[in-house]
């Protein structure tokens, strides 16, 4: 029969082995923190990201200018021609196309203004060319970039809500006048004209509002992408329960848990 001293020694040995097992098990090992990048290397990353997203912003503006201008150019002249006809339906449809084309062209006007993303890139290049110290340039441009992302988020939410609200209201009211019986003693032709006048601008406003609400601005996307290039600070690494082990003993078992802090 084992002596009490032998049992105690066995218990201590088992607990030590179980604790070591829980601590060094690869499934619970903490990953090695990446080396902190130098200011010069981080500035090079910023330069690359700014150049990439500034080009994307410019391409988006170009696409919006082309599609918006073509749509407006197709709707507006055709609407003017139809509005001059004596046929009531053609006349009312023409007025709706006129207003819809004008609204589409108005929404396209913003594409002719350089985006905030492009302005951030321009500021970066001008400040770097002026010989600003690397660390100062990096910190200042990160602050400028973050503010541009916050402003882009606020701007798109506000514009999206306003455009969507106006678009839904105009489209809904226009469809009501187009599909319902004469309202408030309105002539059927006048009601068609009113309905088309509301649906024409309502649809592009509604579409633009939805796009603004569901699609992040280029400033938001680029800032998140740049943040992903930076290593996670060691102070933000995961802490808490990291392992648990059980070892059988004669007449029972021993359990060991490890906690990282």
pLDDT for 191-234, tens place per residue? Answer: 888 888 899 889 989 999 999 999 999 999 999 999 998 876 55
Rounded distance, CA 48 to CA 100, Å?
40
Does residue 244 register a pLDDT over 90?
Answer: no
Give the pLDDT of residue 37: 67
User: Among 78, 156, 64, 57, which residue's Cα sits nearest to residue 106?
Assistant: 64
Give the pLDDT of residue 106: 87
**Which phi and psi angles does 180 have, rounded to 5°?**
-90, 170
- Work out the burial of residue 250: count CB atoms within 10 Å of its CB; fewer than 13 is exposed, 13-18 middle, 19 or more buried: exposed
Confidence of residue 247 (pLDDT cuts 50, 70, 90): very low
Let me know: does 256 contact 15? Beta carbons within 8 Å: yes
- Work out the burial of residue 141: count CB atoms within 10 Å of its CB; fewer than 13 is exposed, 13-18 middle, 19 or more buried: buried
Give the pLDDT of residue 128: 93
Rounded distance, CA 39 to CA 32, Å?
21
* The model's pTM: 0.67
Let me know: does 181 contact 77? Beta carbons within 8 Å: no
Instruction: For residues 36-51, give the mean pLDDT.
Output: 88
């Amino acid at each position: 029969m084992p002596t009490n001293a032998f049992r105690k020694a066995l218990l201590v040995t088992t607990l030590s082995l179980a604790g070591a097992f829980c601590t060094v098990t690869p499934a619970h090992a903490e990953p090695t923190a990446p080396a902190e990048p130098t200011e010069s290397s981080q500035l090079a990353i910023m330069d690359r990201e700014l150049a990439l997203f500034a080009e994307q912003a410019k391409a988006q503006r170009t696409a919006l200018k082309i599609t918006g201008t073509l749509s407006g150019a197709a709707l507006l002249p055709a609407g003017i021609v139809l509005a001059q006809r004596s046929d009531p339906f053609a006349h009312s449809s023409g007025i709706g196309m006129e207003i819809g084309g004008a609204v589409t062209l108005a929404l396209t006007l913003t594409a002719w203004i350089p985006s905030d993303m492009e302005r951030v890139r321009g500021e970066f290049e001008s400040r770097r060319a002026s010989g600003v110290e690397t660390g100062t340039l990096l910190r200042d441009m990160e602050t400028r970039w973050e503010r541009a992302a916050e402003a882009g988020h606020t701007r798109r939410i506000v514009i999206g809500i306003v455009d969507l609200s106006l678009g839904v209201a105009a489209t809904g009211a226009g469809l009501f006048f187009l599909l319902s019986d004469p309202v408030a003693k309105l002539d059927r032709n006048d009601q068609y004209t009113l309905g088309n006048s509301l649906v024409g601008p309502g649809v592009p406003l509604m579409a633009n509002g939805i796009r603004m609400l569901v699609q992040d601005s280029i400033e938001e996307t680029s800032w998140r992408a740049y943040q992903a290039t930076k290593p996670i600070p060691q102070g933000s690494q995961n802490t808490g329960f990291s392992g648990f082990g059980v070892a059988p003993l004669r007449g029972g078992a021993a359990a060991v848990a490890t906690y990282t802090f």
